[in-house]
Amino acid sequence: MSPLLTVEELLALRSSGSPRLLDVRWKLGGPPGPDEFRAGHIPGAVYVDLDAQLASPGSSEAGRHPLPTAAAFQQSARSWGLNSSDTVVVYDDNGLLAAARLWWLLRWAGFDGEVRLLDGGLQAWKEAGQPLATGDEPAPAEGDVTLGEGKLPTVEVDEVPEFVENGGLLLDARPAGRFSGEVASIDPRPGHIPGAVSAPATGNLGDNGRFAAPDVLRRKFGDLGVSDDRAVGVYCGSGVTAAHDLLALAVAGFDADRVPLYPGSYSQWASRPDTPVATGPTEPPLIDAAEARRRVAEGAVLLDTRSPGGREKTGPIEGAIIVDRDNLDAEFDFGSAERHAEVASLQTPIVVICGSVNGSGPVAQNLIGRGFVNVAHVEGGAPAWHELDR
C-alpha cells in the first residue's frame, strides 16, 4: 500500500472510522504554523509543532533539528490523542516537506498503527471543495500510545565518511543551489558532504504539487544510482526534508525502511571544524543515445546545443529545441519572456545533446546548478543519435 492517499480516500476513511488527523505546517523562515492552522485547517485536525515536538533543541553540535527523545516524543504523541491502534493521516501545505518528518518519526519510534499522508496536502483538500475549520480545535483526550526509538536506521556524523568510502550512495535533499554552494547558506560553510549526490526533495513533486508517479520517481532515483542492492543514505539541512526523499523512495517501490537518515545533516556537518566540505553541482548523468530517445519519447525535452555549423554538418534532430548555450540566462530564466515554454518547471525532464560530451556536459551541469532536478546528456552526441537511424 502506498503511504500516500487522496482526498477521496481520506473522506472514505473518515466515513468508516476516525483517523487521527495531524497538521504539520512548518516552513524554514515562517510564517508561523500555528497562525496558519488557525486561519484554516481540515476539520478535526490537531496541530503538530515541528520545532517543539518533532525535534530536540538545536545546537551547532547536534544540528538544527536533532531527533526528539523517546520520552518527549511519546508525550507529544499522547497530547495529540494518539492511541496505539489509531490510523494516522498527516498533511501540511508545502508538498509534504514537513509532514514527511512526522511520517518517518512515528515509524522510527515503533508506532504500530498505519501512517498515511494526504497527497497534495491542504491545497488538495481545498481544490476538492472540502470545508475548512478556523480557530483552535478542542484539545483531544490524551492518548495511550507507547513509543520508543531506533526502529528505523540512522547514521551518525562520525559514520558518514566510512558509509561513503564503502560505496554508499548519500542523497542530499536540499535545493541544488545549496548543495553546490552557489546559494547563500544558513550554515557556517556552503556546499555539501563530499561524495554526496544532489536529490532535491522538491524534485519528488509534479507541477500540481502532488507526488510524481511511482515509475517516474523510480527512474529518477535509478538515474542517481539508487538500486535495491546498494547502500543508500539521506540527509538535508537539518534532517527534516530528508524524510521527503525517504517517502519518495517508498512511493517509488524501494525499501525505504533500510535507508538510514543522517539526523544531524548538513547543519551539524558544516559546524564541525574537522569535516571536509565540497562545492559545485552534481555531475549530470551521461546516457547513451537509445536511452535518450526513450526519455524523449516519454516526454523529456531535448535541447540541441550545437553551433549552427555543427547542426549543418551533422544534420538536424527532429523535435529538438535549439538552444544558444551562451545565452542560458534568457532561455531558462522563469522570469524571462524569452524562455522556452516547453520547459515548464524545474521538474521538467531534460536531455541535452551536442556534437560531443564536451559541449553537452557543461550545459547540463549549468542547468542542474539552476535547480533543474532531472537533467542528462548524451554520450556520443548528435552522431550517436543519428547512428540509430542507420
pLDDT (tens digit, 9 = 90+) per residue, 207-248? 889 999 999 999 888 878 888 889 999 999 999 999 999 999
Taking 80 as the threshold, does the pLDDT of residue 63 lie above it? yes
Give this prediction's pTM. Answer: 0.78
Query: 104 to each of 151, 168, 178, 181, 257, how far by Cα in Å?
Result: 10, 21, 24, 28, 9
Q: Over the stretch 289-343, which tens digit does the pLDDT of each residue have?
A: 999 999 999 999 999 999 898 888 888 999 999 988 877 777 776 666 777 778 8
Taking 80 as the threshold, does the pLDDT of residue 185 lie above it? no
354 counts as catalytic: no
Residue range 200-208: average pLDDT? 91
3-state secondary structure of 195: coil
Q: What pLDDT, on the 0 to 100 scale, is given for residue 369?
A: 64
Residue range 5-9: average pLDDT? 97
Is residue 303 within 8 A of residue 351, CB to CB? The reply is yes
Residue range 275-299: average pLDDT? 88
Q: What pLDDT, on the 0 to 100 scale, is given for residue 344?
A: 75
Which residue is associated with the grid cell 535549439?
Answer: 322
Q: What pLDDT, on the 0 to 100 scale, is given for residue 143?
A: 97
Q: Over the stretch 350-363, which tens digit does the pLDDT of each residue have?
A: 999 998 877 888 88
20-23 and 46-47: which strand pairing? parallel
Burial grade of 194 (CB within 10 A; 0-12, 13-18, 19 or more): middle
**Which has the higher per-residue pLDDT, 54 or 32?**
54
Q: Which domains does the chain have, with CATH numbers?
A: 4-127 (3.40.250.10), 157-269 (3.40.250.10), 286-387 (3.40.250.10)
Across 175-189, 238-252, 294-308, 363-377, least confident range? 363-377
Closest CA to 120 of 185, 232, 42: 42
Is residue 63 within 8 A of residue 236, CB to CB? The reply is no
Taking 70 as the threshold, does the pLDDT of residue 371 lie above it? no
Identify the active-site residue in 236, 243, 247, 251.
Answer: 236
Taking 70 as the threshold, does the pLDDT of residue 204 lie above it? yes
Q: What pLDDT, on the 0 to 100 scale, is given for residue 343?
A: 82
Q: How confident is the model at residue 195 (pLDDT cuts 50, 70, 90)?
A: confident
Q: What pLDDT, on the 0 to 100 scale, is given for residue 332?
A: 76
Closest CA to 128 of 139, 116, 119: 119
Taking 90 as the threshold, does the pLDDT of residue 176 lie above it? no
Per-residue DSSP letter, 216 = H
Q: Over the stretch 253-262, which tens digit does the pLDDT of each residue have?
A: 999 999 999 9
User: Which of 97-101, 228-232, 343-347 has the highest mean predicted lDDT (pLDDT)?
Assistant: 97-101
Mean pLDDT rounded to a whole number for the chain: 92
Q: How confident is the model at residue 192 (pLDDT cuts 50, 70, 90)?
A: very high
Residue range 172-178: average pLDDT? 92
